[in-house]
Amino acid sequence: MNKESANSLTRRIVIGMIAGIILGTIFQAMLPEDGDLLIPLGLFDFAVRGFFVDGLFEIGGQIFITSLKMLVVPLVFISLICGTCSLTDTSKLGRIGGRAIGLYLMTTAIAITIAIAAALLISPGDGVNMTADVTFATKEAPSLTQVIIGMFPSNPFDAFAKGNMLQIIVFALLFGIAIALAGEAGERIAKTFEDFNEVIMRLVVILMNLAPYGVFCLMTTLFTELSLATFGNLIVYFMVVLAVLLLHAFLTYPIILKLLTGLNPVTFIKKMRTTALFAFSTASSNATIPSTLNTTTKKLGVNNSIASFTVPLGATINMDGTAIMQGVATVFIAQVFNVDLSVTDFLMVIVTATLASIGTAGVPGVGLIMLAMVLAQVGLPVEGIGLIIGVDRLLDMVRTAVNVTGDSMVTVVVGKAEGQFDQSVFNSSDDTNGDRIDFHHLKD
């Protein structure tokens, strides 16, 4: 396969994204704020917003996201069962879990510390005079005890139906261990799950190949509705969050990867492109799981026995990008409301933001709900969220890309440490492995 066609999925997604941004910007300029543009066509008037933005593109974008989400529960369940029962020594599970969770918590704490330091240095909220016009309901941060008990499903089908990732992970791990212990019957059922896994991974690749169209639709609707007027006072806040997000993705992760594995961080970043684009356009680590699993196993060379566990776990408990937004937002809101935060308050922010990320799923906008918990914890007005909501959607997209990059980096580190890693796949120059639909099996 030549390089050009090999690069095609990433390239096609980028083209879809840019085309969507351009078309959305044109619609934004053409359409009145709360109305439609009617073009008289003889017998009837043709409504541009009604037909394209709220019709065609809305349908296309939502079907794309929904079909990615459709894959998540069966994919995580099946691949995790395959992963667990292929681990010859199931006692290794504890060590793998410990390593992954330790790294996830460590990277989140680093992320939020850098964010708070940057925000204190640049003071994005000084001199800003704004009033919050949006009210936001606070939810209390769940206690660690609640989070741990809540990981165990009383009814696995309820967990599937609700897409409760931690409960699905626990059930799949237990089921996988039981398969490994069940002798001949276990071997038969393991074989069946491997076949299921093969089939569902094909479905992942098919849907991934539809991404350019889905991304085009999503970007068109987003940029038609995006109001740039909200940026005014928030531009410094926006730039600080963006800068720390980029710093974390392009500096912190490469350094950790190099230090812990000796692998080439440039190769890692390059191979993350497609998955980062998925995360950026869906703003959901959860919906990106199929692509993250595909990249970590087929392009980065981590064995499915590790990736099937660490990827869905990371999508749920590891949100470094979100923590960065929370760090900067807390300082920003404190400055706007003229509240002085003490060192203890900042430590509180770090702990609450890290713990809040454990119990919340990676879906669009969830970062703001977590921020409400953090603000309440240090006594800042939760209405402060109303100040930053206007620019949050774009930041959500970038921070989700950072979140999944973090999940993948930790997956590589754990895979390498456990010897479940194929360095030749990681080093191979074909960074599109796993993106292509293989039609060989189709008969005429």
Residues that bind ligand ASP (CB under 6 A): 283-285, 319, 322, 362-367, 396, 399-400, 403
Nearer to ligand ASP, 233 or 318 (CB): 318
Virtual torsion, Cα 421, 422, 426, 429, nearest 10 deg: -170
Cβ neighbours of 189 (radius 10 Å): 16
Q: How many CA atoms lie within 13 A of 180 on its CB side?
A: 20
Instruction: Between 312 and 362, name the residue whose CB sits nearer to ligand ASP.
Output: 362
Kindly state the smallest distance separating residue 245's Cβ from ligand ASP, in Å: 11
Taking the complex as a whole, the smallest distance from the CB of residue 440 to ligand ASP amounts, in Å, to 35
Among residues 60 and 367, whose Cβ is nearest to ligand ASP? 367
Least CB distance to ligand ASP at residue 409 (A): 15
Q: Is the distance from CB of 175 to CB of 159 less than 8 angstroms? A: no
User: Closest distance between ligand ASP and the C-beta of residue 110, in Å?
Assistant: 17
The rounded distance, in Å, linking the Cα atoms of 141 and 326 is: 14
Q: Which is nearer to ligand ASP, 301 or 384 (CB)?
A: 384
Q: Which is nearer to ligand ASP, 297 or 322 (CB)?
A: 322
Q: In the complex with ligand ASP, which residue's Cβ is closer, 167 or 400?
A: 400
Q: How far is the CB of 253 from ligand ASP (least distance, A)?
A: 15
Which token pair is 5?
A: 């066609």
* Minimum distance, C-beta of residue 279 to ligand ASP, in the bound complex (Å): 7
What is the 8-class DSSP label of residue 440?
T
Contact 400, 355 (CB under 8 A): no
Instruction: Supply the minimum distance, in Å, between the C-beta of residue 347 and ligand ASP.
Output: 22
The answer to whether the beta carbons of residues 326 and 242 sit under 8 Å apart is no
- Report the amino acid identity of residue 124: P
Q: Give the nearest distance from C-beta 192 to ligand ASP in angstroms.
A: 32
For ligand ASP, the closer CB: 190 or 226: 226
Task: Considering the complex, state which of residue 12 and residue 393 has its C-beta at the smaller distance from ligand ASP.
Answer: 393
Contacts of 331 (CB under 8 A, 6+ apart): 116, 119, 120, 123, 124, 125, 341
Q: Any residues with CB less than 8 A from the CB of 222 and at least 6 apart, and which?
A: 20, 24, 393
- Residue 23 or 112 having the CB closest to ligand ASP: 112
CB 171 within 8 A of CB 159: yes
Measured over the CA atoms of residue 16, residue 20, residue 23 and residue 25, the dihedral's sign is negative
Q: Please, what is the minimum distance in Å from the beta carbon of residue 290 to ligand ASP?
A: 14
What is the phi/psi pair of residue 42, to 5°?
Answer: 60, -100
Main-chain dihedrals φ then ψ at residue 44, nearest 5 degrees: -140, 165
DSSP readout, 157-183? HHHHHHT-HHHHHHHHHHHHHHHHHSH
DSSP output for 215-273: HHHHHHHHHHH--GGGGGGGHHHHHHHHHHHHHIIIIIHHHHHHHHH---HHHHHHHTH
Q: How far is the CB of 48 from ligand ASP (least distance, A)?
A: 30
For ligand ASP, which is the closer residue by CB, 23 or 141?
141
Q: Which residues contact 369 (CB under 8 A, 6 or more apart)?
A: 139, 360
Q: Which residue is nearest to ligand ASP (CB)?
A: 367
